[in-house]
Structure 1
Amino acid sequence: MKARRSIFLFTFMVFGYVFLYAPIMSLIIYSFNESKVVSLWTGFSLKWYKALFANQDILNAAWLSLKIAFMTANLAVIIGTVGALVIVRFKSFKGKSILNGLVTAPLVMPDVMTGLALLLMFVVLGQTIGWPKRGITTITLGHATIAIAYVLVVVRARLAEFDVDLEEAALDLGAKPMTVFFRITLPIIFPSIAAGWLLAFTLSLDDVVLASFLSGPGSTTLPLVVFSSIRKGVSPEINALATIIVLLVTVGILIAGYVVNRRIKTKQRWQDI
């Protein structure tokens, strides 16, 4: 019985991984295809990578997306972390239930509704005070609206499991509250902050819906360029771009895994001592 169950689970796992990664592998393989028709293999070639790096529109859009994602992640981490601290630590805060509701709303609301609401708000603000103009600023603020909620949820979960006795012991020994926060609290919750930053960065980098509402002249992000290009048919340049992104993500995951495993081994060594 256990052998049949193990075979079933193994087969199910294999089919699951094939379903997830077979399209990605086919995309990578056909990025080296010489033919312009992505579904017809005619030979190995790197010309589409050369064409990609010669395509100034894609390069500009990629650089713009990276800048917006970086600013969005930083803004979301600052506001989301402060919000999580307020919700978890300040028990007598009267607006806690309202703040929890405001955090949940962006998570469950469709992006189309959020994008339309933000567009109307920015239009009214532009007509009233002349700021902001549709472009990098509006896209960043729109992405941050969603990303703040995700960061707050991640950091709040870590703070809920935090051992407050560590902070109280440091305070009893004469440490100042700011010193306790930067020396004890922040290092302990830093992994959740880093996870929230990466999540916010990824959400901003691959967003299409909000960017389509909030972008303006000269502020076309990479997902919008890709989405507009595939309407005319999938270009081999897009396959090459996707392959580079997959490679960068893979390298980042491997580095993060190496760092985490090294920290775990170091911690185990100190515990053994």
Structure 2
Amino acid sequence: MNTLPAIRSPWRTAILTLCFCFLYAPMLLLVVYSFNSSPLVTVWEHFSVHWYRVLFHDDAMIDAVTLSLTIAALAATMAVVLGTIAAVVIVRFGRFRGSTGFAFMLTAPLVMPDVITGLSLLLLFVAMANTLGWPGDRGMLTIWLAHVTFCTAYVSVVINARLRELDHSIEEAAMDLGATPLKVFFVITVPMIAPAIVTGWLLAFTLSLDDLVIASFVTGPGATTLPMAIFATVRRGVNPEINALASLILFVVGIVGFIAWRLMANEEKKRLRDIQKATRG
């Protein structure tokens, strides 16, 4: 059957260009003005890296960046562990008593407003401190616990979808050959869902790094995350130093995203080649 070639409509090109401009033009403008020597973010004087030098000498902002990156990495790692376990329980254990309630409670943070989540976690930490004496003060630990709480839900959804697409015959064949369920999980299942694990980790890392509302509820005076520091600075007026910081974050996130995309693309190509070889064999 003959197939007609796709017609490149000028309207399609115009809409696509408009969407890309809407998404990326503000980021491009932010990067351009980060090299502006003027203290006014809307007035261009001449090219300069002055605000990058100011940023690297701002100890408070550097501490906020370090704290946020540390919390985001730790929260994403723990969320991947808990989210993977939860997804395996939901997909592989089938129906069991309380499975519906477990699935509902796991996905509840996805639809829960951040204000409600932050307030409930604050009340929980206060009650625990009054009853058990722990945590003694709110800071990095409480922020990490709060971020793990809502990031686990996102990770479990990503890995859940991947687990439902897997071919169970490979795992069953391994167990028929004598492999234990634990060995099958780490040797066969985990490599097969590795792209979903990486995706879930990156998603959890981004959500944790971006969180402002929940962190504002559960933190104390000794811990200030990057979104909190930026929000406090912007309330007093837009500082060109923030443009420099945001440009560096965009640069780093772009590199990490590109590397992750290449690794997952190569893994998918390898998986398709293995499937083709198995089919031909």
Q: Name the SS of the counterpart of 2:61 in structure 1.
A: helix
Q: Residues 251-270 of structure 1 correspond to what in structure 2 (within 5 A)? A: 251-267=255-271
Q: Residues 36-75 of structure 1 correspond to what in structure 2 (within 5 A)? A: 36-75=39-78
Give the aligned partner of residue 35 of structure 2.
32
Q: Name the SS of the counterpart of 2:9 in structure 1.
A: helix
Q: Name the SS of the counterpart of 1:202 in structure 2.
A: helix
Give the aligned partner of residue 201 of structure 2.
197
Q: Name the SS of the counterpart of 1:115 in structure 2.
A: helix
Q: Residues 150-229 of structure 1 correspond to what in structure 2 (within 5 A)? A: 150-229=154-233
Distance in 1 (alpha carbons) for counterparts of 2:233 and 2:270: 48
Deviation of residue 192 (structure 1)? 0.7
- Which letter does structure 2 place at the counterpart of 1:235? N
Unaligned runs of 5+ in 2: none
Distance in 2 (alpha carbons) for counterparts of 1:3 and 1:143: 46
Change (3 A) 1:268 1:123: closer
Distance in 2 (alpha carbons) for counterparts of 1:265 and 1:110: 39
Q: Which moved more, 1:252-261 or 1:96-105?
A: 252-261
Distance in 1 (alpha carbons) for counterparts of 2:7 and 2:169: 49
Deviation of residue 93 (structure 1)? 2.0
Is 1:238 the equivalent of 2:242?
yes
Distance in 2 (alpha carbons) for counterparts of 1:241 and 1:226: 9
Q: TM-score, normalised by structure 1?
A: 0.95
- Which letter does structure 2 place at the counterpart of 1:8? W
Distance in 2 (alpha carbons) for counterparts of 1:60 and 1:76: 24
Deviation of residue 12 (structure 1)? 0.6
> How many percent identity over aligned positions?
51
Change (3 A) 1:231 1:117: same
Deviation of residue 204 (structure 1)? 0.4
Q: Does the 8 Å CA contact 2:75/2:147 hold for their aligned counterparts?
A: yes
Match of 1:18 among 18, 21, 29: 21
Q: Which moved more, 1:161-170 or 1:55-64?
A: 161-170
Give the aligned partner of residue 113 of structure 2.
110
Unaligned runs of 5+ in 1: none
Q: Residues 121-160 of structure 1 correspond to what in structure 2 (within 5 A)? A: 121-132=124-135, 133-160=137-164
Distance in 1 (alpha carbons) for counterparts of 2:108 and 2:270: 41
Distance in 2 (alpha carbons) for counterparts of 1:24 and 1:189: 33
Write out per-residue CA displacement over residues 190-248 of structure 1, whole angstroms, 9 at most, x where no aligned residue. Answer: 11111111111110001000011011122100100000000111111100000000111
Change (3 A) 1:106 1:265: closer
Q: Does the 8 Å CA contact 2:87/2:157 hold for their aligned counterparts?
A: yes
Q: Name the SS of the counterpart of 1:43 in structure 2.
A: coil
- Which letter does structure 2 place at the counterpart of 1:93? F
Deviation of residue 189 (structure 1)? 0.9
Count of residues in correspondence between the two structures: 272
Deviation of residue 36 (structure 1)? 0.2
Change (3 A) 1:165 1:199: same
- Which letter does structure 1 place at the counterpart of 2:100? S
Q: Which moved more, 1:26-35 or 1:212-221?
A: 212-221
